[in-house]
Structure 1
Amino acid sequence: MFSLTVRDHFMIAHSFGSEAFGPAQRCHGATYVVDVTFKRPDLDRDDLVVDICRASEALHEVLVEFHLQNLDEFEEFKGHNTTTEFMARVVFERLAKVVHKGRLGENAKGLTAMCVTLHESHVAWASYEGAL
């Protein structure tokens, strides 16, 4: 299996709605470093997994929606805790739509899986991985 990873970041504010989160129930900020790994069993005709530039641009376009926003204000997240794990899946789902729409180029049709990792700090991170 071949893989290629691109990286970006976004900063958010949010709060959590459960006593399990202790002080994090209050509004607080987070800066996530985001790694997205694209996977495929064989390289494309240009010996690539996916075009790095297109992958980087697509990731940035997905993240800009959340950058410098309070996630508590997003209607679609009402009733959910926007944990690192939860947001890894959100980024995965949005980026998967970009891949399926062909925005990473014709050769990206050979992609079979993707893993999105959100680094909350240098000692803690969460991932969501799935088939494309």
Structure 2
Amino acid sequence: MFAVTVRDHMMIAHSFTGEVFGPAQQLHGATYVVDATLRRAELDADGVVVDIGAFAGLLHEVLGELTYRNLDDDPALAGTNTTTEALARVVADRLADRIHRGALGPGGQAAADLAVTLHESHIAWATYDRPL
């Protein structure tokens, strides 16, 4: 299996519901380094998994919908504790939706799966893997 990963970042504000979150139940900010990885069994005719520039641009577009926003105010996320794990899934699903609609052309359509990792610090991160 071949894989290509692109990296970007996002800065958000949010709060959590639940005693387990302690002081994070209050509004606070978070900065995530975000990695998105596409995998496919074979390279295309040009010898690549996908156009890396297009993939980086797509990740930037998806993160642009979330960054510099208070996620508590986003109707699409209502009722969701926007934990690192949950946000990894949100980003992955939004990327997958665009890939299915052709945003990365045939290279994206040939990808088998997608993984999104949100690094919340240099010692902690969460990943969501999904098929395409």
TM-score, with structure 2 as normaliser: 0.97
Q: Distance in 2 between matches of 1:27 and 1:127?
A: 23
Distance between the aligned counterparts of 1:105 and 1:56, measured in 2? 14
What is the rounded CA distance, in whole Å, between the counterparts of 1:87 and 1:111 in structure 2?
22
Q: How does 1:15-94 map to 2 (within 5 A)?
A: 15-94=15-94
Q: CA deviation at 1:80?
A: 1.5
Percentage of identical aligned residues: 56
Q: Normalized against structure 1, the TM-score is what? A: 0.97
Letter of the aligned partner of 1:66 in structure 2? Answer: L
Measure how far apart 1:64 and its partner are. Answer: 0.3
**Aligned-pair distance for 1:76?**
2.1
SS at match of 2:22: helix
> Partner letter of residue 27 of structure 2?
C
**Partners of 1:78 and 1:44 in 2: how far apart?**
40
Q: Distance in 2 between matches of 1:104 and 1:77?
A: 26
The number of equivalent residue pairs is: 132
User: 1-side partners of 2:127 and 2:59: how far apart?
Assistant: 15
Q: Which runs of 5+ in 1 are unaligned?
A: none
1:45 is matched by which residue type in structure 2? A
Give me the whole-angstrom Cα distance separating, in 1, the residues matched to 2:119 and 2:95: 17
Q: Tell me whether 1:110 sits opposite 2:101 in the alignment.
A: no
Q: CA deviation at 1:83?
A: 0.2
Say if 2:10 is the partner of 1:10.
yes
